[in-house]
Amino acid sequence: MSSQTDNSVFIDAPFDLVWDMTNDVRSWPNLFTEYASIEVLNEEGATVRFRLTMVPDPDGSVWSWVSERTSDREARTVRAHRVETGPFEYMRINWEYAEEADGVRMRWQQDFERKPDAPFTIEAITERINKNSLIQMAAIKSKIEAAARKVDA
């Protein structure tokens, strides 16, 4: 059984700043609240393969996986997928950036399927991804808007 999520946030900042900050994967531990570290494994053109390591769970568990993403600045999109899928049959994330008056709407569409032996139901992981996406988007919005204010100052 597969599932999808679709979340977006409006960021009051110029497109170039939003694009540059959200596509600098090396800075993600400072941009997202959930990532402890990132290791870039390979870069070819607009495609980057990297290992993400999460901050420890409350019980001390640390999760890590390899992802790959290809950005297309002209189309204002990024296509990403997990290479190491862990409990998922697949996990794909599409990022879209739409310029609106005075800012950018950043949208994440995630498409995934759990493995039959995954330690969670599809409903539970869909709820968790939706909840966490909103938390991460709020953190990203705050950090990018703060950076935009510094540029304007």
* Dist CA 52 CA 75 (whole Å): 25
Other CB atoms within 10 Å distance of the CB of residue 46? 12
- The neighbour count for residue 11, using CB atoms within 10 Å, is 26
For the stretch 47-92, pLDDT in tens is 999 999 999 988 888 999 999 999 999 999 999 999 999 999 999 9
As a whole number, mean pLDDT of residues 17-45 equals 97
Residue 91, judged by CB atoms within 10 A of its CB (0-12, 13-18, 19+), counts as: buried
Percentage, residues of the chain above pLDDT 90: 90
Is residue 19 scored above 80 in pLDDT? yes
Indicate the SS3 state at residue 117. coil
Task: Identify the structural domains of the chain with CATH numbers, from first to last.
Answer: 2-152 (3.30.530.20)
Q: CA 14, 30, 93, 39 torsion: positive or negative?
A: positive
121, burial (CB in 10 Å: exposed 0-12, middle 13-18, buried 19+): exposed
Query: What's the one-letter identity of residue 27?
Result: S
